[in-house]
């Protein structure tokens, strides 16, 4: 059954649902609430002024509407809560006026100020709540309301005859799991806490089971694959290594040797290069690609953004300019004629190294003899995307790079199908980045520091969590920050804005002006987290730092300190100070990732949700790690017997084999 067959889903709503990554009925059914509101009516005499509480009241006076400013109104009235007459205030709900008659019973959610005898409501329901209620809360966008999503899901549950269950029957029985259909129904409409807990447990197990099944399948497969034994010209490689304008660190040398050993082996390489920000992973990958070229094979390097792809292309071109290695850059921004020229040369074999974005996995990209595939920031790509690139060659060696250090315990589980090279030491000359947590009230001193750096000829990054102003979120946005910085420096310091909605060509021009020093302050979203390498940038200022994970803040901080200059990072926040101070104490990404796991309420592995195989809808790696370990063992047992499995598991196995 198709999504548009669900009652109420027309062409317009289908388009909106697609923007929420809902393309199938299964996507709709597993579009879980991101949190639940718990409503439990209480007596106001038992309320704390710090707590959000739920109360039932009866309206005693006709509500009044006050218009404070444009798009901001205040609705107020008196109400009786048990025997207590209180003042009620709720903002931006003027449209409810016609429903609020004297004598009507309603439910309010908000905070009570005993001194002022005023209840400031954040929500209002047009009925009394007689017993505790658990209400799901969904992420929505313009064009679809929460109630519509709930209705679509209800209709899908009733109409879908067979909801695919990915947990084998033996494990369903072993752990006394709810059925998939029952669990989904409860998650979207929970009646009590116990059933919600059981439904969550079942969904978490299923997500982890499928994930670990893929990991174990890949591990088993890779152990038996015979790869291409590369015989590269050692003299040429030695000459290239001698030409490098810097000395490799001990960790880089070790990682290079591990990669070269893999290339020379008949076993197919499947290696993760994990290193801290600025530790020099890229040069290890470049040396591997150069060695691969000297053995007569082509290489492909896939980056998640055009900015990063361009960065790698420019770096590689400089390093191999005196060697007979032909490099090309393939991104979605290329003109048709240039793209066609690259594709023809690639097919002929005259291009040795191809660097690009996900454009590399397009069907029309054909290699003559692909021998090495490298994926940078590998967690940003799904298993299928990485597999599509590998399938363009006959069993090519593979290297994955990640600048997001994760605790060893987790790495051993989620990357168990790969060999791992760790790079901890940083290149000679790099200084520790000094980090300071500052409150909004201390901005003046930060601006003074920025001005001093600009006078020295240095450049500044400024990061904000939003592109445009949003009253509901009440956070800094790049557009308003640009106005503020221009005003603060009397319009004499050139600043520019960079974010994900700017087209690729314009992004390239903005980065170019920043590189040349024409632009002094780059005000951006986290689009600069990877790939922007400006040696002259010495200061990073991050607004609303509390909204980011420590790992993400550490990545952003790594945009400065890429030289021998003193560099500084300012974290601007009035909240979550204790957690942010971890970055004041340490520049070690591995230590920071451990602290992130310990301190964050949500165990989002990479700080911000990314597209790829590491995004779970219900499961949380940190919180649910014991369940992950159990699914690791269960999936191993399942795979050991999969050849003898009944036909009913064909769908599950095909979902695993899709990553071939």
* pLDDT tens-digit map of 360-418: 888 889 999 999 999 886 544 444 544 556 667 678 899 988 876 666 667 767 777 78
* pLDDT score for 171: 94
Q: How far is CA 156 from CA 23, 147, 434, 496, in A?
A: 13, 14, 54, 47
pLDDT in tens, 73-89: 999 999 999 889 999 99
Which whole number is the average pLDDT over 601-618?
47
Which whole number is the average pLDDT over 188-204?
94
First to last CA, the chain: 27
Q: Which domains does the chain have, with CATH numbers?
A: 41-131 (2.40.50.140), 164-222+624-660 (no CATH), 225-423 (3.40.50.300), 434-599 (3.40.50.300)
* pLDDT score for 380: 43
466 neighbors 475 (Cβ within 8 angstroms): yes
Chain CA centroid to CA 164, Å: 27
Which whole number is the average pLDDT over 540-565?
88
Confidence (pTM):
0.65
532 neighbors 555 (Cβ within 8 angstroms): no
Q: How confident is the model at residue 596 (pLDDT cuts 50, 70, 90)?
A: confident
pLDDT in tens, 255-270: 999 999 999 998 889 8
* pLDDT score for 606: 36
Q: How far is CA 311 from CA 13, 49, 532, 534, 625, in A?
A: 39, 53, 7, 10, 36
Residue 472 reports pLDDT greater than 60: no
Average pLDDT, the chain: 86
Check residues 411 and 471 and name the one with the higher pLDDT: 411
In angstroms, rounded to a whole number, what is the distance separating the alpha carbons of residues 420 and 408?
11
In angstroms, rounded to a whole number, what is the distance separating the alpha carbons of residues 40 and 42?
6
Residues ≥6 apart with Cβ < 8 Å to 103 = 58, 59
pLDDT in tens, 124-155: 999 999 888 998 989 888 888 888 888 998 88
Angle formed at CA 389 by CA 2 and CA 229, multiple of 5 degrees: 145
pLDDT in tens, 634-650: 988 888 876 545 444 55
In angstroms, rounded to a whole number, what is the distance separating the alpha carbons of residues 640 and 28?
33
Residue 236 reports pLDDT greater than 80: yes
Annotate 426-453 with DSSP letters as a single string. Answer: PPTTPPPPEEEEE-GGGHHHHHHHHHHH
């Amino acid at each position: 059954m198709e999504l548009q067959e669900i009652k109420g889903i027309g062409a317009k709503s289908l388009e909106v649902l697609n923007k929420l990554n809902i393309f199938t009925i299964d996507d709709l059914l597993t579009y879980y609430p991101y949190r639940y509101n718990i409503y439990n009516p209480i007596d106001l005499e038992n309320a704390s002024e710090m707590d959000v509480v739920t109360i039932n009241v009866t309206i005693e006076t006709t509500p009044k509407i006050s218009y404070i400013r444009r798009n901001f109104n205040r609705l107020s009235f008196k109400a009786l809560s048990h025997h207590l007459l209180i003042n009620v205030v709720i903002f931006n709900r003027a449209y409810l006026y016609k429903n609020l008659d004297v004598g009507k019973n309603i439910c309010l959610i908000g905070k009570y100020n005993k001194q002022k005898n005023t209840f400031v409501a954040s929500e209002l329901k047009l009925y009394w709540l007689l017993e505790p209620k658990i209400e799901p809360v969904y992420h929505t966008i313009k064009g679809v309301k929460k109630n519509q999503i709930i209705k679509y899901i209800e209709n899908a549950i009733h109409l879908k005859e067979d909801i695919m269950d990915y947990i084998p029957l033996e494990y369903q029985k072993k752990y006394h799991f709810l059925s998939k259909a029952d669990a989904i129904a409860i998650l979207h409409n929970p009646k009590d806490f116990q059933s919600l807990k059981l439904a969550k447990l079942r969904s978490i197990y299923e997500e982890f089971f499928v994930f670990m099944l893929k990991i174990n399948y890949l591990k088993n497969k890779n152990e038996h694959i015979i790869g291409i034994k590369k015989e590269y010209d050692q003299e040429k490689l030695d000459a290239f290594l001698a030409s490098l304008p810097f000395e490799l660190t001990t960790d880089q040398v070790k990682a290079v040797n591990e990669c070269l050993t893999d290339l020379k082996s008949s076993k197919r390489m499947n290696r993760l290069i994990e290193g801290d920000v600025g530790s020099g992973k890229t040069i290890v990958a470049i040396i591997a690609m150069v060695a691969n070229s000297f053995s007569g094979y082509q290489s492909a390097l896939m980056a998640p953004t055009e900015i990063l792809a361009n960065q790698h292309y420019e770096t590689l071109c400089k390093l191999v300019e005196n060697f007979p290695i032909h490099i090309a850059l393939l991104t979605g921004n290329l003109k048709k004629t240039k793209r066609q020229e690259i594709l023809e040369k690639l097919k002929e074999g005259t291009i040795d190294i191809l660097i690009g974005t996900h454009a590399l996995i397009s069907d029309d990209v054909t290699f003559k003899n692909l021998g090495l595939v490298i994926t940078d920031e590998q967690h940003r790509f799904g298993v299928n995307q990485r597999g599509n690139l590998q399938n363009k060659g006959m069993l090519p060696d593979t290297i994955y790079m990640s600048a997001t250090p994760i605790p060893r315990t987790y790495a051993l589980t989620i990357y168990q199908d790969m060999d791992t090279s760790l790079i901890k030491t940083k290149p000679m000359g790099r200084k520790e980045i000094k980090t300071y947590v500052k409150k909004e009230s201390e901005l003046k001193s930060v601006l003074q520091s920025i001005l001093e750096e600009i006078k020295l000829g240095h450049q500044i990054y400024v990061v904000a969590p939003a592109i445009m102003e949003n009253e509901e979120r009440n956070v800094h946005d790049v557009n308003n920050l640009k106005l503020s910085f221009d005003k603060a420096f009397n319009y004499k310091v050139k600043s520019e804005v960079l974010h994900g909605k700017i087209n690729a060509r314009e992004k390239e021009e903005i980065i170019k002006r920043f590189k040349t020093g024409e632009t002094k302050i780059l005000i951006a979203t986290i689009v600069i987290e990877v790939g922007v390498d400006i040696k002259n940038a010495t200061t990073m200022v991050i607004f609303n730092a509390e909204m980011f994970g420590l790992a993400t803040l550490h990545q952003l901080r790594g945009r400065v300190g890429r030289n021998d200059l003193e560099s500084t990072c300012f974290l601007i926040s009035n909240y979550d100070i204790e957690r942010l101070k971890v970055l004041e104490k340490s520049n070690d990404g591995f230590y920071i990732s451990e602290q992130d796991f310990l301190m964050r309420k949500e165990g989002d592995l990479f700080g911000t949700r990314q597209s790829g195989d590491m995004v779970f809808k219900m499961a949380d790696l940190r919180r649910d790690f014991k369940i992950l370990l159990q699914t690791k063992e269960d999936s191993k047992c399942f795979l050991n017997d999969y050849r003898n499995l009944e036909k009913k598991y064909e769908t599950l196995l095909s979902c695993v084999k899709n990553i071939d």
